[in-house]
Amino acid sequence: MSLAPIKKVTGRAVPVEGDDIDTDRIIPARYMRCVTFDGLGEHLFRDVRFTPEGKSKHHPIDQPKHKGATVLVSGMNFGCGSSREHAPQAIVRAGFKAVIAGNFAEIFFGNSTTLGLPCVAAQPSDLQALSKLVSERPETEVEIDLEKLRVKAGSLTFPVAMKPIAQQGLLAGRYDAIADLLANLPKVNALASRIPGPTVP
């Protein structure tokens, strides 16, 4: 059974500016001792959002004007560092539905796609213009068109890039490899039954 196709993502955006935002900044390692991914969203960017005593540092995602934003806008090399699946899980569980950045670390990109979290790459000048726009006019609706690979926000329109295999998977609702495998379980079992087992001496 295919998942729901993802052709467009629309929502308000929040700028989390900076390059080389790694997975430890996205979700600090001490929160990876969980049995499930439930609750990770509240710890997204924990160490740059709060002091050790829990006092807010007024990070963009905590500012009232960006409350309810579902599109995260950032810089180059987003999601670099360790290959923890917890990072995109935290982003999704915090309510985000897409990330627009300059480019993405390979494993982070793959993990995000599997979760149905589109990650599209834009030119630095377009990212800067978008960040400025949503900072000044946070009510602006941002539309990511995955078919046309285009972002529209107010008067801004610019192209974005995505690996074709990820784009095709999201558009077809076949971005979760495990769900795809389970949907084809009869074929898997049929093939397995034709493979000879080990020979016992």
Is the CB of residue 42 less than 8 Å from the CB of residue 99? no
- The burial class, CB within 10 Å (0-12 / 13-18 / 19+), for 82 is middle
Mean pLDDT on 116-123: 98
- Domains of the chain in start order, with CATH, are 8-175 (3.20.19.10)
Is the CB of residue 150 less than 8 Å from the CB of residue 159? yes
Distance, CA of 183 to CA of 32 (rounded, Å)? 30
Q: What Å distances lie between residue 60 and 34, 76, 150, CA to CA?
A: 26, 18, 24
Query: pLDDT (tens digit, 9 = 90+) per residue, 25-58?
Result: 999 988 877 767 878 888 999 999 999 999 999 9
Instruction: State yes or no: pLDDT of 109 exceeds 70.
Output: yes
Q: What's the pLDDT at 39?
A: 83
Is the CB of residue 102 less than 8 Å from the CB of residue 121? yes
